[in-house]
Amino acid sequence: MRRFIVNKPLEEIPSRHFDVVVVGGGLSGLYAAVLMDAGLSVAVLVKSALEQCNSALAQGGIAAAIGENDNPDIHLSDTLRAAVGIADQDVVRLMVDSGPSEVARLASLGVKFDADEHGNWHTTSEGAHSRGRIIHCGGDATGRLIMNQMIHLVNEKPNIQVFEHHFLTDVLTDTKDTVAGVVAYHDSFVTFWAPTVVLATGGVGGIYQHTTNHKQTTGDGIAAAIRAGVRLENMEFVQFHPTALYGKEEGESFFLISEAVRGEGGVLRNKHGEAFMNYRHKKKDLAPRDVVAREIFREMAEAGQDHVYLDVTSLPGAYFAQRFPTIYSHCSKRGIQPERDLIPVLPVQHYFMGGIKTNPSGETSIPGLYACGETACTGVHGANRLASNSLLECIVFAAKTANAINNLPVQSANAIEISPVNYPEFSGDVNAMMAKIRELMQTHGGIVRSPQGLIHALDYMNEIIEMAENGALVTPSHIELLNMASVAREILVTALYRRESLGSHFLEDETSMINF
Ligand SMILES: Cc1cc2nc3c(=O)[nH]c(=O)nc-3n(C[C@H](O)[C@H](O)[C@H](O)COP(=O)(O)OP(=O)(O)OC[C@H]3O[C@@H](n4cnc5c(N)ncnc54)[C@H](O)[C@@H]3O)c2cc1C
C-alpha cells in the first residue's frame, strides 16, 4: 500500500477546491497558470515566498533562433550534439521551432529584452552554441526581470490564487490511480482537491553540497510523484555548471558566473595562468558544459587546488560592469575587481536533466497529473543540457501544458480515504542526516562516479528511506529528508545501471562497471 505523508482522514483537515492546482511558482508554474483559461479556478502553491525560486536567479538568458544567420535547424543540431545522442529529436524539434514565437509571446506579455536603439534584441553566445542566440534582460538579470513580470500578471488574474509557504507533501490519487489533488503543509495539513495537478517544483540542487540552486530545491515534487507511482526518466543526468564563484557563506548557495561571460570573451586559466581549455576541446572555453566542468575538475585535482580562474581582464574597460551588472557588483562585494583581478571559480551542481517523464503536453504516466519545467523530463536535454535551453523549455512546454489543460472537459476530483497508521515517532538528527546526504551526493553522485562510490551512497539513502517511511513525519524538514533521500536514490540507482560514460554521467573507470 502506498505511503501518504498526511496521516489523518482527509475529512478531518481543512480543504479547498479548484479546477487546477499548480505546485511551483517559478517560470514554468507561473507561465502555465497565466496561460490557463480565465474560466478555470487555479491555485498556485509555493514552498516559501513567490520571489524565491531558481527562475529568478537566471542570468544568461533564453536561447531562441531569432538571428539572421540562425534558424531552428541549427539550434536543433546544437542541442542534439550537446545532449550526446540521447535527446528526443522530435521533442527538441518542437522546442526549437516554438522558440521564436514563444519568446515573442513573452515580450507581448510585457517582458523587456535588452535591445539596441532600433529595438533589435541583443544576442550573445554560450557554451556549445554555434550562433549567438541568447536573449537577455537587464544584462544579467534575465530571470529576475521575467519573474517580476510573471508575478505582476498572476496578481492581476482573478482566477489565480497564490498560496505561499504551502509545502507539497502528497499527490493524491484515487482507487483508479487518477489524480484527485494534493496535500500541502502550512502550519498544519491542507487538502487542495482538483482533477488536474501540475507539478512545477524545479530541480534537485539542494541534495548536493555545492549548488547554484536555492537550498529549498530538494526535489519535493519528484519525490511526491514517486510516492504516487509516477514514471521517471534520465535520473542519472545531473549537470554541474563550470563556473560558480569560489567561496560562500555557510548554508548559502554558490553564486553563478554565467556562461555568457565566456560567451563574451572570458577565458579559464589554471594556477600557472595557462588557458587550459585551448588544448582540451576544439570549442575551447565554449565547449559543452559537461566537458568544461570535467576539465576544471581535472585541473583542480592535478594542481591540488579547489578552484581555477576566470579571466575577463581583456574585455574593454567598463564593458564588463555594464554587460554583467549583477555579477560585477557581487564580485566587487567580495573584493574582486573583474577588470583587474582573476575571478576564482569552481564547478558546482546546477541543473537536473532527469525528472518526471512527460509527453510534450506535460502529461505524466498518472492521469490528471502534469509536470513542466525542471521537474519534468521532456527529453530535450538528453545527457547534457545546452546552455539557456532551460528557460526556453520552461516557456515552450508550460504553454503546451496550459493549452492541453484548457482543452480538457469539465471534471471533478474523486474522494479518497486515508486510514491513519500508528507510526512511531521519528527520531534522529535531521540536519546531520541532510548534511550527510549532500556530502555523499557531492562526492559520489557528482562529476566523476564509480560503482563503489555509488553503492556506498545508495546504502545510506536506503537506510534513511527505511527509517523515514516507518516513522511519523510531522515537520517539513522530516518530509524534506525523505524527499532528498528518495530522489538521491533514483539518481544513484540509474547511474549504476548506466555502465558507460555519457554526457554528465562520467565514470572514472568504465571497466570497473563490468563486473558489477
Ligand atoms: C543561478 C542560476 C542561473 C541560471 N541561469 C539560467 C539561464 O541563464 N538560462 C536558462 O535557460 N536557465 C538558467 N538556469 C536554470 C533555470 O533557471 C531553471 O532550470 C528554471 O528556472 C527552473 O524553473 P522551474 O519553473 O522549473 O522551477 P523554479 O524556478 O526552481 O521554481 C520552483 C518552484 O517550486 C516551488 N516548490 C518547490 N518545492 C515545493 C514544495 N514542496 N511545495 C510547494 N512548492 C514547491 C518553489 O517554491 C518554486 O516556486 C539557471 C539556474 C540557476 C540556479
Atom of ligand 1 at shortest distance to CA of 373? 26
270 pLDDT more than 70: yes
Whose Cα sits closest to atom 21 in ligand 1? 55
pLDDT of residue 125: 87
| Cell numbers representing residue 255 in the block | 553564486
And the C-alpha cell for 99?
522558440
285 Cα to the center of ligand 1, angstroms: 26
**10: which residues sit within 8 A by CB, 6+ positions away?**
172, 183, 191, 415, 416, 417, 418
Residue 156: CA count within 13 A, CB half-sphere? 9
Q: Which of 363, 373, 327, 449 is nearest to 204 (CA)?
A: 373
Output the residue whose Cα is nearest ligand 1's atom 33.
24
Question: What is the distance in A from the centroid of ligand 1 to the CA of 217?
Answer: 8
For residue 242, the CA-to-ligand 1 centroid distance in Å is: 18
Tally Cβ neighbours within 10 Å of residue 478.
17
In contact, 139 and 323? CB cutoff 8 Å: yes
> What percentage of residues in the chain have a pLDDT greater than 70?
99
Nearest CA to ligand 1 atom 15: 390
Question: What whole-number distance in Å separates Cα of residue 480 and Cα of residue 363?
Answer: 25
Centre of ligand 1 to C-alpha 14, Å, is 29
Confidence of residue 513 (pLDDT cuts 50, 70, 90): low
Q: Tell me: the pLDDT tens digits for 64-104?
A: 999 989 999 999 999 999 999 899 999 999 999 999 999 99
Give which of 458, 482, 488 is closest to 468, Cα–Cα. 482
Give the position, in ligand 1's atom list, of the atom nearest the Cα of 372.
26
Pocket of ligand 1 (CB under 6 A): 23-29, 45-48, 53-55, 57-62, 142-143, 166-168, 200-202, 212-213, 217, 220-221, 256, 351, 373-375, 388-391, 394
The pLDDT value recorded for residue 512 is 67
Query: Which residue among 55, 186, 190, 381 is best mutated to probe the pocket of ligand 1, counting the most ligand atoms within 8 A of its Cβ?
Result: 55
CA of 280 to the centre of ligand 1 (A): 31
Q: Which letter does DSSP use for residue 368 in this model?
A: T
pLDDT in tens, 38-67: 999 999 999 999 999 999 999 999 999 999
Of the candidates 44, 50, 52, the residue with the CA atom closest to the CA atom of residue 159: 44
Contact between 236 and 457 (Cβ < 8 Å): no
Q: Which atom of ligand 1 is nearest to the CA of 388?
A: 11
Judged against a pLDDT cut of 70, whether residue 516 lies above it is answered with: no
Instruction: Give nearest CA residue, ligand 1 atom 6.
Output: 58
pLDDT digits (tens, 9 = 90+) for 221-243: 999 999 999 999 999 999 999 99
How far apart CA 330 and CA 339 sit, in angstroms, is 14
What is the per-residue pLDDT for 514?
57
| Collapsed DSSP state (helix, strand, coil) of residue 217 | coil
Mean pLDDT of all residues in 26-46: 98
Closest C-alpha residue for ligand 1 atom 45: 47
The answer to whether 289 is a known catalytic residue is yes
- Tally Cβ neighbours within 10 Å of residue 512: 14
Per-residue pLDDT reduced to its tens digit, 285-303: 999 899 999 999 999 999 9
How high is the mean pLDDT of the chain? 95
pLDDT for the residue 252 = 84
pLDDT score at 127: 87
pLDDT tens-digit profile of 306-354?
999 999 999 987 889 999 999 999 999 999 999 999 999 999 999 999 9
For residue 354, with 0-12 CB atoms within 10 Å meaning exposed, 13-18 middle and 19 or more buried, which class applies? buried
What residue owns the CA closest to ligand 1's atom 51? 58
Catalytic one of 289, 294, 385, 489: 289
User: How far apart, in whole angstroms, are the C-alpha atoms of residue 353 and residue 290?
Assistant: 12
* Residue 453 pLDDT grade (very low, low, confident, very high; cuts 50, 70, 90): very high
User: Is residue 209 pLDDT above 90, yes or no?
Assistant: yes
Helix (H, G, I), strand (E, B) or coil at 404: helix
- Say if pTM beats, i.e. exceeds, 0.95: yes
- For the cut 90, the answer to whether the pLDDT of residue 452 exceeds it is yes
Distance CA 160, CA 168 (A): 18
Q: Average the pLDDT over each of 45-49, 65-69, 361-365, 376-380 and give the range with the smallest value.
A: 65-69
Average pLDDT of the segment spanning 462-467: 96
Strand 42-45 with 20-23, pairing: parallel
Q: Which of 23-32, 74-83, 406-415 has the lowest mean pLDDT?
A: 406-415
> How many whole angstroms from its chain centre is CA 338?
28
Q: Which atom of ligand 1 is nearest to the CA of 203?
A: 30
Cα–Cα distance measured from residue 126 to residue 134, given in angstroms and rounded to the nearest whole number: 7
